[in-house]
Amino acid sequence: MGFVQAAMLTALAAVILPVLAHLIFRRRARPVSLGTLRFLKVALRHDTRRRKLKRWALLALRVGCVALLALLFARPYRAAEVGGGGAGLTVVLVDRSASMGRTRDGLRLVEHAVRTVPEVVKGAPARARVEVAWFDAKVAPVGGDDGRSSLDDLKAPDVLAGGTDFAAALAWAGARCEAARGGGPLAVHVITDLQRSGFGGVDALAFPKDVPVKVWDVGPGSTANVAVTEVRPAGLLVRAEQPTTIQATVLNARPEPLAGRAVRLTLRNGGKSFTLPAAASAVPGGWAAVSFETPPLGPGLWQGTVSVEGADGLAADDSRHVAVFAAARPRVLLLDGGARDVAALGEAYFLERALGLAPPGEAAPDAPFRLIVFPYGAEARLPDLREVDVLVAANVGGFPASDAAKVKQFLGRGGGAVVFGGGNVSAQSGASYAAAGLSVGAIAGSHPARDVPFRVAEFDAGHPVLRPFADPQHGDLRRLAFAGCTRVAPADGVKVLARFQDGTPLAAERRAGASRVLWVGASVGREHGEWSRGRLFLPLVHQFVRGAAGLAGAGPVRELPAAGESPGVTAAGPDWEVRNLEPQESELEACTAAEFAARLGVTLAADAGPSADELKAENGLELRAGELWPWVWLVVVVCWLAEGLLANRTVA
């Protein structure tokens, strides 16, 4: 329930007038002694009771007339409902993309769109079902679990961050109309700013030609705008204590040139931060490239913004978020479970050379890992793991209870581990591996190849660890040959990254929070073939260790579109997500309704009725859907007639 002229409700104070009249002019009885009049007293008592009831009813009718007159002038109306039932279907699509955050007449465009919805609903056919949906790059229907929602509950979103996609919105509306076909007239209304850059997957759109589309333009037309449309770090994962480069693109969507507009890069990491200035110049409608050279970045996540100064039509695109992870060299503890007196015959000899990029016992200054090799036999005990990032176990037969507890605590702190198979890893090793948190399934022991060597039949080319090998130019994993492997039956929740022809897993991964355990069934010695002498051995084991450290691929930083969420840098488990507006939202040039229809292949409504402004100009009134004043007037007339009849038969 709402009121067009809510201020008229103050007239309800006039109900005190009939109450005062009732109190002032009521009859006051005075006792008079007339002797013995027993039966007359009984008659007078009954007559007095009837007259009292009539006076109270008369007072109620007079108060009701005054109150109803006040309501009549206040013009109550019933709020329309979304998802009602009846004949036909009217779909109302309301644009909530980032460009609808611009202002007109002191209000955001999305708020103008919300105010337009009741006018659209009012023009819908009688008893037609009305469905309202928000749209940007995706469609979000409005309504409760029962499909009904009062339009009074339709509120403009606070955050507008999605990109415009008219095709996606009309595809959804077209599907709704097809589902309702045969039940009455169909119509679609689009309330938008007609942004020219909002035509997404137009080629795949198949909207029914017989459904009319009415476009309600709430935009201010083209708006002068200067925006940061793209930020490109040289890499989302960089080496700690090294500088990096961040480039940005600035759009000048104005009719005049952009000359030396100030642009700033701000990055912070905990209590550390710095700001780098630059300037952008561009011709009208052109772009400017800006480059920032950062100082050496300390370890950790550096996040911030690239922003351009100056007020314009759309403040949301004046800055874009950026994040770079500066990774220190992972500290790797290599447990050699097959150590021998002759180093070259040891299990981890080739693995040590690959990870350290130096002869045993030496370290290369530019090696990607800080490596410590620890011979791990029956009498050995693990050192302190608090200074370790990745634990690598090569052909380790098992762990004593005290060491298993240390490893499990290490993984609980977010550490990573890589386990390589070998002859020492047998079915009896399973219990200690499970106690240490390193198990990925039931260990079945050695599995030798019979007639031909094992080769990789399939691998997960989309996984960050193995993604570089998706391009055969970087090395073809299918060319690796193995004389055997340590077989394991993966447990639930374990992801197999690579398999042999017979389905035996070569590599598997288990994640628990921030910790990662990577299982490699092949021995890094010569027990399972000569793969450790091949060209792919070094890059492959580097990828396994980086994966366990969470630094494979682009590292822990992911760049994603805003998709309707607030732009910024947010934590997502062990990773960070960087969300920004879609670049095309900064191009604010508008098209016409005819161009809209031509691009999307839809039929514009020939006659959608007068707009709200035309109705106001014609009638001098602000109309609302579902006004109740005729019914209020009818009740006033009934109460007035009843009051007249009762007043002629009652002495006030």
Residue 335 DSSP class: E
Nearest to 299 by CA among 561, 555, 470: 555
Pairing mode, strands 575-580 and 557-561: parallel
Residues 6 or more apart whose CB falls under 8 angstroms from that of 577 comprise 558, 560, 569, 570, 571
Q: Which residues pair with 272 in a beta bridge?
A: 269
CA distance 185 to 343: 85
Place of tokens 């036909």: 88
Beta-strand (E) ranges in 176-299?
A: 186-192, 212-217, 225-233, 237-239, 245-253, 258-269, 272-282, 287-293
Q: Is the dihedral of CA 370, 374, 376, 381 positive or negative?
A: negative
Q: How far is CA 242 from CA 293, 371, 538, in A?
A: 11, 21, 24
Q: Per-block average pLDDT, block size 10, for the chain (652 residues)?
A: 67 76 66 56 62 78 82 69 65 93 90 92 84 91 61 82 91 91 88 89 81 92 85 92 95 90 95 94 93 95 94 88 94 87 67 84 80 88 93 94 95 94 92 94 92 93 90 83 94 95 94 91 90 91 93 87 85 89 89 91 68 41 58 83 75 48
The values of phi and psi at residue 540, to 5°, are: -70, -45
- pLDDT at position 341 is 59
Compute the distance between CA of residue 101 and CA of residue 110 in angstroms, rounded to an integer.
7
Residue 506's closest CA among 530, 473, 541, 482? Answer: 482
Q: Give residue 617's pLDDT.
A: 41
Return the structure tokens found at 615: 């109705």
Q: Quick check: 281 and 288 in contact, CB under 8 A?
A: yes
Which one, of 584, 595, 568, 560, lies nearest residue 225 by Cα?
584
DSSP letter string over 121-155? HHTSPTT-EEEEEEESSSEEE---TTS-EEGGG--
Tell me 79's DSSP state: P
Helix (H, G, I), strand (E, B) or coil at 258: strand
Token readout for 647 is 């007043």
Helix then strand count (H, E) for the chain reads 11, 33
**Tokens 């670049």, residue?**
583
The pTM for the full model equals 0.69
Token digits of residue 319: 């800055």
- Which pLDDT score is estimated for 409? 95
For residue 324, give the H/E element and its range: strand 319-327
Buried b (16+ CB within 10 A) or exposed e, 230-268: bbebeebbbbeeeebebebbbbbbbeeebeebebbbebe
CA separation for the pair 240, 296 (Å, rounded): 7
